[in-house]
Amino acid sequence: MKLKFIILAISAFIVVMTGVVIFPIIYKNEPPSIPDLYTPKNGAVDIPVNTVFTWGATDPDGDKLTYDLYLSTDRYNLTPIASNITETSFTKVLKYNKTYYWKVVAKDKKHKTDSDIWLFSTENAIPLKPHSPKPSDGEINVPLITTLNWQCEDLDGDKIFYDVYLGRSIDTMKPIVTGTEATSIEVNLKEDARYYWKVVAKDGHGGIRYGEIWAFQTKSVKELGKPFNPIPTNGATNLETKITLEWKYEGKEALFDVYLGLDPKDMTLIAQNLGYQFYDISVDYGKDYYWKVVAKSGNEVKESSIWNFSTKKLLIKEEISEPSTELTVESSVISIESTITKEITPTIYMEKTKKMNKKYVYTTGSGIGMYIIDVTDPKKPKIVNHVYTEGWAVGLYVRDKHAYIADWINGVVVADVSDVKKPKKVAKLKTFGKVYSIFVKNDIAYILEGNSGMEVVKIGKDYSLNTMSYLELKGSSGRIFVEDNYAYVPMGYDGFVIVDVSDPKIPKLLSYYDAEGFAYNVFVKDDIAYIADGGKGLKVVNVKDKKHPKLISKLNINSKWGRVYLDNNIVFYSKGENGFSLIDVSDKSNPILLSTVDTKGFCYGGYIRDNYLYVADGENGLLIYDISDPQNPVLLSNLKNLYLQNIILEVK
């Protein structure tokens, strides 16, 4: 514009001075340059739907430029989405999984110039997480023929295909349907059984979303029973003051409350939520007592009759003298004789006996808490106590006389089991997700939650639990294991991962090891990992180089289910409905199958100690084998009427 004014001024000056009329030079306006498109680049894919467009252009005359931005999924029908803007960038939220065409038009006051037309594709929106399950998570009394329902959406409108997994435990979930477009499936179930299930949603473009693991309990065809056949028998007399109350029960799975008192109309609750049918008490001499047992299942309750017994009276002779008494103190039996005559010095007789360490198995599986079983005599195991938990106990770890119970939606429960006859809950942690596996090392607990990740927790001196960190691990499953400063997390069909936990506040994912089948659990000793690779068998892997695990050997085992435990170069390999196998791994490069046993139940796992094998056999209860000759395991006992999935042993 200034140039035009100058030219006209010069022309006018010439006319005035010379009288010669000249035609002024006419200024020509040049159009803007062809805009350069920057982003998204031509042919780009997986562009975020929150798309940023950038470009550039110049004007040879220095004119100020404005821009129109055109966009469409139809190359031949571009429409403006922004007009007369002065910036060279623009942001717009687009649709998922679409191919777009775009161009920019640069304009000065007289001209406009079009850019080339570029194309790009937006990212695929993976399906949203399946939700709104029916039966609802934690529902009870579900019919034996029921329909599993769920809901799921895909933001870009893709068809969704579903894989549905169902099983009696988290580790045993199997696909019952794959690639279905339906959001429901009818299933036939067992009575009075706990089931776990999940839905995996897939679109047709590689997008996968894993749903949460849900759980429910089927109803029992059996009715809630009424406790009967009391011991002491009703009306028993002259009893000692230390008594074991016992009763029988027939019916669906139940917990028991025990009431006791001197008045049948005013009894006190002395034990609550027992998972077994006995309870030890200490009472006074010379009293009449009344007691009853209440069976509970969900909202149902049934009371026993009110029974009574009386203790013997304390005689005068017994009040003034102490007859010979036997007192057992660990490894010695001490006999004490005394009278009220003080001049006589008491004489102590000591008989040496062989010290007997008490052995206890801690188990979960039925979901109503943790059982404590005395296995000191492997031929006569007996339940000694039970710790009730509000959630569904699915895993545990025992260390330093404390049990850490993975209690599903209830988080982690810590129980002091220093006195197995009087265990008590001392701490609880509400976790980020549902808990089904836990490993304790020193004062740190490593918790595997749902199929989402690992929570690292500090154990206080009072056994309180405080979260230190969380590592997201999509698809995690099975049983976590920790050796030295490394956690080994099974990832199902994706094998297992190794996590550096040397700094528990900042766990670091180091590597993946891909399995051929389904990695259920990993046991590690001396930098050698033993993997239960369901469907393929045992894998022996060198993990000394944490970033590059290397396969040493494998042994094919025909079983979809698997869990391993190692002791003294013998691998116990549980095979679910196919029992278990014992494998010699003294030569890591050549594992040798020693024996296979059909356990009759569903062999979930086992624990080896001092040539004894303790097996959690599902509905078949606890099995104890003598494996001093691992080629010929000998069954010693079978404790039934328990549903067991997890097992750990402690020697006291």
In tens, the pLDDT along 145-200 reads: 999 999 999 988 889 999 999 998 887 788 999 999 999 999 999 888 889 999 99
- Quote the number of domains for the chain: 5
Residues 290 and 339 in one domain: no
The answer to whether position 35 is within a domain reads yes
Largest CA distance in the chain: 158
Residues 40 and 116 in one domain: yes
Q: CATH number of the domain that 388 lies in?
A: 2.120.10.30
**Domain's final residue, options 476, 507, 541:** 476
Residues 469 and 402 in one domain: yes
The answer to whether position 440 is within a domain reads yes
The answer to whether position 422 is within a domain reads yes
Using DSSP's 3-state secondary structure scheme, residue 420 falls into: coil
Residues 96 and 148 in one domain: no
Whose CA is closest to 540, among 477, 495, 532, 606?
Answer: 532
**Domain's final residue, options 352, 377, 408:** 352
Q: What is the average pLDDT score of the chain?
A: 87
Residue 643: pLDDT band by 50, 70, 90 thresholds? confident
Residues 377 and 423 in one domain: yes
Residues 87 and 148 in one domain: no
The answer to whether position 568 is within a domain reads no
**Domain's final residue, options 192, 218, 244:** 218
The answer to whether position 565 is within a domain reads no
Residues 181 and 136 in one domain: yes
Residues 257 and 367 in one domain: no
The answer to whether position 201 is within a domain reads yes
Residues 110 and 160 in one domain: no
**Cβ 140 vs Cβ 214: under 8 Å:** no
DSSP lists the bridge partners of residue 296 as 255, 301
User: H or E stretch including 318?
Assistant: helix 316-320
pTM of the shown model = 0.71
Question: What is the token pair recorded at 624?
Answer: 């104890």
Q: Which domain holds residue 249?
A: 228-311
Neighbouring C-alpha atoms within 13 Å toward the C-beta of 271? 28
Residues 157 and 213 in one domain: yes
Residue 26: pLDDT band by 50, 70, 90 thresholds? low
The more confident residue out of 210 and 542 is: 542
DSSP string, 446-499: EEEETTTEEEEEEEPTT--EEEEEEEE-TT--SB-EEETTEEEEE-BTT-EEEE
Whose CA is closest to 372, among 427, 436, 415?
Answer: 415
The answer to whether position 642 is within a domain reads no
Using DSSP's 3-state secondary structure scheme, residue 319 falls into: helix
Residues 307 and 320 in one domain: no
**Residue bearing tokens 């994912």:** 509
pLDDT digit string (tens) for 341-376? Answer: 333 223 222 233 345 688 999 998 766 789 999 999
Q: CATH number of the domain that 283 lies in?
A: 2.60.40.10
Measure the CA–CA gap between 552 and 351, rounded to whole angstroms: 55
Measure the CA–CA gap between 76 and 42, rounded to whole angstroms: 17
- Omega within 30 of 0 (cis) for the link into 232: yes
Tell whether the model's pLDDT for residue 4 goes beyond 70.
no
Residues 165 and 212 in one domain: yes
Least trusted range by pLDDT, from 277-281, 449-453, 570-574:
449-453
Provide the H-helix boundaries in 25-141: none
The answer to whether position 153 is within a domain reads yes
pLDDT digit string (tens) for 580-631? Answer: 999 999 999 999 999 999 999 999 999 999 999 999 998 899 999 999 999 9
DSSP string, 169-185: SSTT-EEEEEEE--SEE
Mean pLDDT, rounded, for 507-523: 92
